[in-house]
Structure 1
Amino acid sequence: MDRVGGLHHQPCPPARRRSPQKGALAQDELEDPPHSTLGQALGRSRGGLTTKVHLAADGRGLPLAIVVTPSNVNDSTVFDKVLDAVRVPRLSAGRPRRRPETVIADKAYSSRAIRTGLRRRGIRAVIPERSDQMANRKCRGSAGGRPPAFDPEQYKARNVVERCFSRLKQFRAVATRFDKLAARYLAGLRLASLLLWLREP
């Protein structure tokens, strides 16, 4: 329970769907927002209408929490939602664990808000600083403050979330989204996650 990362895959866009004009909303978005492309976790990117999967995994590469969003949603904006969805049952009686000891994430999650939130909750952050943030801090001199703590050796363990995605994408329904409804696609992701847990010795 010490890994949090984000990644996405790009399934094929739905067939026979006419793209709306730039800056305009599709008809279904105006008439029925919950069932629109935005309501069904579909966002327009270079590959068309696609979905992004945000995932938290433990040290063995097993999924703990999954959130789906449109592909044009920034990873850092969903960080708290993914972290709040983590619930690990205890072997003894008691409430499930919801606070990992360490969070390892890539540069997409490097922000002051995320680091402050983790520090407030007593969670150690292992997140590399982005190059633009480093440049801005150095330009400000002493007013820029010290660089955030970062353990490069522990960061090497972040690849477990990449391996978790590789295992999930062995399921065809996960690698390519065939479901129209986001709830059904999320249910498929959770079912695939359950199978991974059951296969673990």
Structure 2
Amino acid sequence: MSLFLAFLGVSFMVIATPGPDTAITIRNTLLGGRTAGVFTALGISSGQTIWALATSAGIVALLVASEPLFLAVKYAGAAYLVYLGFRALQEALRRSHPRVAAGLAKPARRLIAATAYRQGLISDLGNPKMAVFFASLLPQFVPPGGESFSALLGLGVVFAVMTLTWLALYATLVAKAGDFLRRPSIRRTIEAVTGIVLIGLGIRIATEHR
């Protein structure tokens, strides 16, 4: 039990630290409301569950050991974050256009749940740091003599559920502040900052070593 409690503590510290998952959840909640934010969180936690399954089956170890494959996943994930960041910056600039501010231009389409889920899923699966994290963290909390596959998978699923709960809370809080955040100047600022953060995170992932 003490080993599992230690795992919960470490997991919470990791999950609560702002990163790409938090940034994408906030962005999508602004674009599509609480539903889009929650589905983004669901996509992210689904990606983590896939990483957990791959870790349990030994696939992640192969990924980490293969430099070309690891780099391919890393650069693809980094490029996707940069893409989402540029989209956020474009939306911020579009909303600052005089015609949009005056309500004369066609409003942007609201982000739908399926798109939000897909963005969360791709973002998480494109982050090779999750592979390294799962491969290095989960085995430390498997009880001695325990069945490794089910134990690793179980810990990974617990981590994913914790992530879903935390990010869904983020989405709820952002959505509840909707009236304030929907003010044109406030929303443009948040979208611009979120875009810059996503681009910065993408560049950091692409350039940092393991």
Query: Which structure shows the bigger proportion of residues in strand conformation?
Result: 1
Query: Which structure shows the bigger proportion of residues in helix conformation?
Result: 2
* Structure-1-length-normalised TM-score: 0.28
Higher relative contact order (CA 8 A, sep 6+): 2
